[in-house]
Structures are given as structure tokens and as C-alpha cells.
Amino acid sequence: MQKLATHTFTSGSVALMGVVIPAASAPPEWIHLLPSSAGRIETVDSRGPYQVQDAAAIIAASFAETTELPIDENHATDLAAPNGQPAPARGWITAMEARADGIWGKVRWANSGRELLADQAYRGISPVFLHSSDNTVRRILRASLVNNPNLRGLATLHQEESVNFQQKLAEKLGLNAAASEDQILAALPAKPGETAALQAALPSIAEALGLDKGADTAAVLNAAKAAGADAKTTIPALQSQVTDLSNQLKALTDIGKLTKAAAFVDAAIKEGRMGLNATNRAEFVAMHQENPARTEKLINGFALMKTTHTAGAPPAAAAMQSSANDLVVKAKALQASEKAKGNDLDWAVAVQMASEGKQ
């Protein structure tokens, strides 16, 4: 099922379309009806977006039953005429053209339309079209002079002449009519002064590329192309080497930290620091790797065990050992608790918190 899309009334599946018309001494010969010849069309309000899938099919369908499509005022054909009010045509769309920026319509203006535009009575053109249930545009029925345009992307009508000139210039330069401004500028011949400046700079460019100053333009161009191609392979290779060296440096740094941490913790165990043993050695080594200064301060604060003539540790020493082991258990519990909350608590901080009695 096809649905009608116009500019001003808002019931059902109607959409607002439009483009601003600036003041001009003469009405434009071509008007921008749809802002895309193959793609999405956005509106200012919530209706749409609409899709253009086949511009040629839309144009063919639009003229399938008539040779001219009317341009009225404020959608009078759809709003006023059904109530018996007048809806005169102010112009007629006699042809359409699919361009890179959408569908354009050629207009034969009535005298009343020319007067309205000369008087700046209206600022916009709004097409009325049929669309399918998936919002694909199928056929343009007519257009209307309005003051509240809604379709996004339509060129203002004063741009029509400049657009045509750009297309004609592109064709003169042997380019596609839809060529961009950058492509057109690149195809334009250089000014004499620019050519002379380039020739003057050629020896310096040649020298920078490793050629003799007397190298000709072709040799310089080939050297520049070779340099560009070489850069595409050389730069990634250098970046890869830098990454490898960085990884190697990090590995060596980590080894150095591990060696220093293990040496300190093993020395503390050997001298009999309370709370340090083979069971929790790995935790304190990891803690030292993360924060050497804090770990050494903490371990140096552990009491030293004194030797006795008995086989076991004296009661006081045993109590201190138990207290140190309890500190490790509490630190691990703190880490687990924070992990459950989505936080990563490093070992040094966990031990410090446990030693301060934090839960």
C-alpha cells in the first residue's frame, strides 16, 4: 500500500518536506525536490526517515500519467480543493533529473508564481510524494510553495546556478558531472606563477629525496612515489621494532623487580622476621614488586624471633607468628571482599589495611 507524504498537514502517515527559497530577481529554472538519489532522507519533525532506492524509477512513475506536475500554494490541492476552495497552479514541473545530490525538477512558472517569488511571498518548496509502508519513495505527485520547510539536505534555490556551473565545469575537464570540488580543482591547470615556483623548488626537492639537484621532473616524481611506498612498509616495521624493544625492556624490568623482591624477602625470612615463612613468601614477594618502599617498611617492623635452647619457638614467639599469619589471612580476605565489589586491591594496601584493623 502506498501512502501520501506532503508538507503541512499532520494526520495519518503524512510527512513534511521542504527547502528554503531565497529572494531572487527571477524564479529558478530547477528546484531540488529530493535530497538523495539513492539513500536516506531525514526530516525536521519525527516523520520518516524516507528512503530513495531507485531515482530513475521514481521519475518514470512521476510522469507515467501526465507530462507536467503542478506547483501550488501551501498544499492547496490536498487541503483546500477537497473543501471546494481554489487551488491554482503557480508553476508546472515539466521534467526531472537524477543528480549526485538528489532529484531535481525543471519548472515552467506561471505569471502568478513569478509574481509570488518576486514579492518574496514564499521561501520554500515542498514536494508531495507517495511512499510505501517501509517509507520508500515511489512517486512524486506535485510540489508546493511553503514557508515552513521540513526536509533536511535540500539545496537552497540560489545554489541551483552554482551547482549547474560546477557540473558543466567538471564535464569540460573530462570529469564525471558529480565530481567533487577537490577533484575539479585538482584537474584545473596550474597558474603560470605556480608552475614557475614549482620549477624553482625542484632542485631542493630532488636533493631532499637523495637525487642530484639537476634531476628532471620525472625522476623527482618517481623518487617521491618510491619514498611514499617505502614509508608505507618502513614505518610499520619500525613501529613493530619499537614495540618489541618496549616489551623486552618491560620483561627485563620485571625480572629485576622480582630478583630484588625475592632477595629482600628471603633475607627477612632468614633473619627470623615474624610473619614471614615459606607459605606466605610469594605474597610478600609480589607485594614488594608492586611497592618496594612500603613492603620493606612493613617487614622491617616485624619483630625478630630469638633463638632458644628448646626445639620449638617460645610461647611469645609462637603468638607473634600466629598474629603475623593472621595478618596475611585478613589481608587476603580484604582482597576477596573488594574483588566481589569490582575493585582490585593490591597486596601491599591489603596488608596495610589489615595491620590497621580495617575489615
**Confidence class for position 22, pLDDT limits 50, 70, 90:** very low
SS3 readout for the chain? CCEEECCCCCCCCCCCCCEECCCCCCCCCEEEEECCCCEEECECCCCCCEEECCHHHHHHHHCCCCCCEEEEECCHHHHCHHHCCCCCCCEEEEEEEEECCEEEEEEEECHHHHHHHHCCCCCEEEEEEEECCCCEEEEEEEEEEECCCCECCCCCHHHHHHHHHHHHHHHHCCCCCCCCHHHHHHHCCCCHHHHHHHHHHHHHHHHHCCCCCCCCHHHHHHHHHHHHHHHHHHHHHHHHHHHHHHHHHHHHHHHHHHHHHHHHHHHHHHCCECCCCCCCHHHHHHHHHHCHHHHHHHHHCCCECCCCCCCCCCHHHHHHHHHHHHHHHHHHHHHHHHHHCCCCCCHHHHHHHHHCCCC
pTM score of the predicted model = 0.43
Give the pLDDT of residue 282: 86
Higher per-residue pLDDT: 348 or 90: 90
**Confidence class for position 43, pLDDT limits 50, 70, 90:** confident
pLDDT at 10 over 50: no
Higher per-residue pLDDT: 256 or 154: 256
pLDDT in tens, 201-221: 778 887 877 788 788 877 877
pLDDT in tens, 219-270: 877 777 676 655 556 566 666 666 767 777 777 778 888 889 889 989 988 8
